[in-house]
Amino acid sequence: MPTPIGHALAGVAAAWAADLVPGDRAWRTASRFASWYERAGNGLTLGCACLAVAPDIDLVFLPFNSEGHRTVTHSVGAVLFVGLFAAAMAVRARRPVARVALMCAVAYATHLLIDWLGADNFPPRGLQLLWPFSHAWYISDWDVFRQTARRQITSGAIIRLNLLAIAQEIAILLPIVVALWSVRVKALAGLATELPSRDHAAK
Ligand SMILES: [Zn+2]
């Protein structure tokens, strides 16, 4: 099971990838003199990082019951719910509804993808990806991300195991995040320079 660090990186990647989709996204821009937080996409990007970690909230309620872990919260049903909830929030905030809904749903769905790609040595292995349509468990068996442990986390062997997993998640996901950042900066900078000229033309 990948760690929250890997999941959060994937959530940020989802938000920045969504910003590359053409359309109503000028509101995602910030001046290059703005803070890093604003340039990174403010609370919505942070929200996507949180959404990508959120499915593991089931561990809080079922800490030592692996039967309940990776069920409802790790499913297309939950992705759909997140998309609809985000759409409602976007309506309230007067933001592009489809864009925000899709961005949030994809950020949440990255968690499912990364868990599916990760190693899982404890039955039932995988996740109930298609809940509520099916209760079958799915896993890729590709073991792209290493097995982690959440018991005896203060023992030397477990600390080593988890640190190694975190290092591997960062090694895989950080280059993707950095690449998306650099492409996004260029794409949104183009939009920012378009805005004044468009305003000017409208006068
Ligand atoms: Zn998970």
Say how many domains are in the chain.
1
- Model pLDDT, residue 69: 87
- Per-residue pLDDT reduced to its tens digit, 16-55: 999 999 999 999 999 889 999 999 999 999 999 999 999 9
Which residues form the domain of 60? Answer: 4-202
Amino acid (one-letter) located at 182: S
Asked if 100 and 44 touch (Cβ cutoff 8 Å), the reply is yes
Contact residues for 79 (Cβ-Cβ < 8 A; gap 6+): 105, 108, 109, 112
Distance from residue 112's CA to the centre of ligand 1 (Å)? 7
Expressed in angstroms and rounded, the spacing between residue 97 Cα and the centre of ligand 1 is 27
Q: What is the pTM of this model?
A: 0.92
- Tell me the C-alpha distance between 146 and 168, whole Å: 8
> Which is nearest to 150 in space by CA: 165, 140, 138, 137?
165
Model pLDDT for residues 93-113, shown as the tens digit of each residue? 999 999 999 999 999 999 999
Ligand 1 centroid – CA 55 distance (Å): 6
- Distance, in Å, from the CA atom of 40 to the CA atom of 23, rounded to the nearest integer, reads 18
Instruction: Say what the pLDDT of residue 200 is.
Output: 45
Q: Which of 1, 15, 4 is nearest to 177 (CA)?
A: 15
Residue 53 CA to ligand 1 centre (angstroms) = 8
Residue 194: the pLDDT is 57
